[in-house]
Structure 1
Amino acid sequence: KAGGGGARAVDLFYIQPQGRNTMSDSEGDKLTEVTFRDFTPENEAELRLLNSAIFPIRYSDKFYVECAAAGRVTQLAYVGTELVGGIACRLELTADKSGARMYIMTVGVLAPYRNGAIGTRLLQHALNEGRADTFLQDAYLHVQSNNDDAIAFYTRFGFKRDQLVLNYYKRLDPPDAVVLKLDLKEWKVNTIEGVEYGGEDKGPQHAHRQPQQMPPPTEEILSTTCS
């Protein structure tokens, strides 16, 4: 079932057929001025178009339902009136329902804007939001085991290797994934430079969220591209 919302994700960097990743965010990038906006029914069509331009798969309706249920941790980045990037997350109840986890499904930025640290700031925003919500315990994602650039990117934000999942990817070589995890209590909320917020709310202020008890992931491979 292509593009299932509960399908397994993610690699921050989309691996092209040549085996070269499209990493672009680095500590020396010049900031592109952006506006961050919440994901809403009004801009869902824009996010669908963005995803079709960036990712080699089609996401199901369930993906967008999960994006909306995650509240402000899912965020869209605009340059002027153009949507150029976004981070999509879902919230998952812990087994004992004492809290929730933030799973990073996709981070993507259109190619012409990939040297402006937009992806970095989208991730910072999501982590700021996660830290502000005491019900959220950690953030995590999957990265292909040989994707050193992606692992290094997340390590800069304090993510640590949690476990190796053998044969996680069915269509990639190597098929194994590293789970990267960040305890949100260890994240220090920081001011994000070069960002205006399009709504009335400024900075971390968690809106109503709906953590879900997620079924086991399917075998579909969802890749995200560079930020």
Structure 2
Amino acid sequence: MVRISLRNIETMESMNSALFPVHYKDTFSLQILFKKNTFGFLFYEEDYPVGLCTFTFEKGRVYVMTFGILVRYRRRGIGRRCMSLVEEYILQNIGDVLVNLHVHESNHIGIRFYVKMGYKQVGIDHLYYLDMVPRTAYILEKNLKYHYE
């Protein structure tokens, strides 16, 4: 897991294009680099970028803006490992917190993935995606708590 920086921001932009049907404006990249409490990570397998995650922390919650693994690397446990790394980072650097995110209603694979990771569907936003049809997204969340042993 490598923090997104000026050195690898183009990799993040390429990954976004490959992974998501939504076009991200240039300001998104600037936000990842410079906005306070906004984080971005790239995931690598054998020195090759295979996925990414971006999230922000505001008002006592973490919002996952993007999370994705390239198709050819899915179904190998990489997504689970990467999300676990992100959650561990959040716990170590932010603490116990509510994490939430949106998933397009047709992204059944993504929904199943998050449910397996312990996320629960808590709502529906019928107008979340402005440039997609359908526009509906499910809202999922997980209470992230450090388990003391």
TM-score w.r.t. the length of structure 1 is 0.54
Q: How many residues align?
A: 145
State the shift of 1:44 in Å: 1.0
Residue pair 2:80, 2:117 contacting (<8 A) in 1 also = no
Give the structure with the larger helix fraction: 2
The structure richer in strand per residue is: 2
Deviations 1:154-202 (A, max 9, x none): 12222122222233334323x33221111122x649xxxxxxxxxxxxx
Of 66, 82, 85, which residue of structure 2 is paired with 1:125? 85
Structure number with the bigger relative contact order (C-alpha 8 A, sep ≥ 6) is: 1
Q: Which has the larger radius of gyration?
A: 1
CA distance in 2, matches of 1:146, 1:56: 12
Q: Which consecutive unaligned segments of at least 5 residues does structure 1 have?
A: 1-35, 190-227
1:47, CA displacement in angstroms? Answer: 1.6
Structure 2: stretches of 5+ with no match in the other structure? none
* 2:133 equivalent in structure 1: 172
1:83 alignment counterpart: 49
Amino-acid identity (%): 28
- Report matched runs for 1:66-215 at 5 Å: 66-68=31-33, 69=35, 70=37, 74-91=40-57, 93-94=58-59, 99=60, 101-134=61-94, 137-145=97-105, 147-170=107-130, 171-173=132-134, 175-185=135-145, 188=147
CA RMSD in angstroms comes to 2.6
Structure 1 stretches of 4+ moved >4 Å: none
Residues 37-48 of structure 1 correspond to what in structure 2 (within 5 A)?
Answer: 37-48=2-13
Measured in 2, the distance between the counterparts of 1:46 and 1:146 equals: 26
Paired residue type of 1:184: L
Q: Deviation per CA, 1:99-125, whole angstroms, max 9, x where unpaired?
A: 3x2111112222322233222222111
Structure 1 stretch 73-82 or stretch 124-133: which is displaced more? 73-82
What is the DSSP-based 3-state SS (H/G/I as helix, E as strand, rest coil) of the residue aligned with 1:116? coil
The alignment partner of 1:149 has SS state of helix
